[in-house]
Amino acid sequence: MDYNFLKVEKEGGITILKISAPKSLNALNSTILKELAHFVDNLDISTRVLIITGDGEKSFVAGADISEMANLNEQQGYEFGKLGAQVFRAIEVLPIPVIAAVNGFALGGGCELAMACDIRIASVKAKFGQPEVGLGIIPGFSGTYRLAKLIGQGYAKEMIYTGKVIRADEALRIGLVNATYEPEQLMPAAMEMAQKMLANAPVAISLAKQSINENYDLDAEASLELENKLFGKCFATRDQKEGMAAFLEKRHANFTGE
Ligand code: CO8
């Protein structure tokens, strides 16, 4: 499929996805959401780390497309929200690490997209917010769920009720992003992080991701049992034998993802 709003680049095992709708600061309309869904469903299996960023210098994603939402009725609003939530969930459960390199505005659905990624790093020029209540709606692409989990209910409620837009240094302080960089250093930093991941065993990373993601919604007993099961699974992989043999033989491991 040819994409009108996505730009895809590959560098070894790293795929870089740019959301590109320059006329609306990369706001997400339903066509972009469908392109994203197609991209995620058909992600090339040689991709071992995905980096998502916004095209241009100003914006990561400035939210869902307000012009498309303006005249929706209740059922259409439900369906639009569901489309976004399903795409973001598909990103969240990809069996590979996904890094959001937030290069500018990450508002509304943009902040929600970043939160569906495993890790967020940001340009010092990035701005974050959930301004939906100022438009008469709530965060509808799973923002009420993920923001509260990521930064705690107190600050999530403050951000959502006030709709305030925060700078990257504040996002760093509250744990919404892991690190901030000068704009020109953002993509190199994302690539460097991805390269470090590439050096490790892919199945182990995927199982660790599954364990962290699924543990979130379980009680302590179920959570520890899940981790235990996934830990056991690692021992069925060639990479576990290779990783431990390499350590014992004092050499670098050669992981194959088996
Ligand atoms: N939707 C549509 N168009 C947008 C959006 C958007 N979210 N954001 C920016 N644009 C457009 C502007 O309308 C403008 O278009 P034009 O040139 O034709 O007038 C163009 O992009 C450039 O924007 P500005 O001129 O406003 O640029 P500024 O630098 O002055 O301001 C801002 C940048 C601060 C980002 C400003 O554009 C802004 O406030 N945008 C809206 C941000 C926002 O409110 N986002 C949240 C949207 S709601 C949402 O995401 C809900 C998700 C859940 C949906 C659930 C569905 C039921």
pLDDT tens by residue, 246-256:
999 999 999 99
Tell me: pLDDT of 82 over 90: yes
C-alpha 229/C-alpha 248 separation (Å) is 25
What tokens appear for 101 in the block?
Answer: 């390199």
Report yes or no on whether pTM surpasses 0.85.
Answer: yes
C-alpha 59/C-alpha 64 separation (Å) is 13
Neighbours of 244 (CB within 10 A): 12
Please check whether residue 120 is in contact with residue 98, taking contact to mean a CB–CB distance below 8 angstroms: no
Tokens 């509260």 belong to residue: 148
Which residues are identified as catalytic?
Answer: 112, 132
Neighbours of 11 (CB within 10 A): 12
Query: Which ranges constitute the DSSP H helices of 17-73?
Result: 30-41, 66-69
Q: Is the CB of 174 under 6 A from ligand 1?
A: no
E runs forming strands in the chain? 6-11, 14-19, 49-54, 59-61, 98-102, 105-107, 119-123, 127-129, 165-167, 179-181
C-alpha 164/C-alpha 154 separation (Å) is 14
Q: Is the CB of 64 under 6 A from ligand 1?
A: yes
DSSP line for 9-28: EEETTEEEEEE--GGGTT-B
Q: What is the pLDDT of residues 140-186, one digit of tens each?
A: 999 999 999 999 999 999 999 999 999 999 999 999 999 999 999 99
Q: Is the CB of 54 under 6 A from ligand 1?
A: no
Question: Quick one: which of 224, 124, 215 has its CA closest to 169?
Answer: 124
What tokens appear for 202 in the block?
Answer: 């892919």
Q: Is the CB of 144 under 6 A from ligand 1?
A: no
Q: Which atom of ligand 1 is nearest to the CA of 105?
A: 35
Q: In this structure, which amino acid lies at residue 47?
A: T
Q: What is the pLDDT of residues 93-137, one digit of tens each?
A: 999 999 999 999 999 999 999 999 999 999 999 999 999 999 999
> From the CA atom positions of the chain, what is the Rg in Å?
19
Q: Which atom of ligand 1 is nearest to the CA of 109?
A: 50
Phi, psi of 36 (to 5 degrees): -60, -45
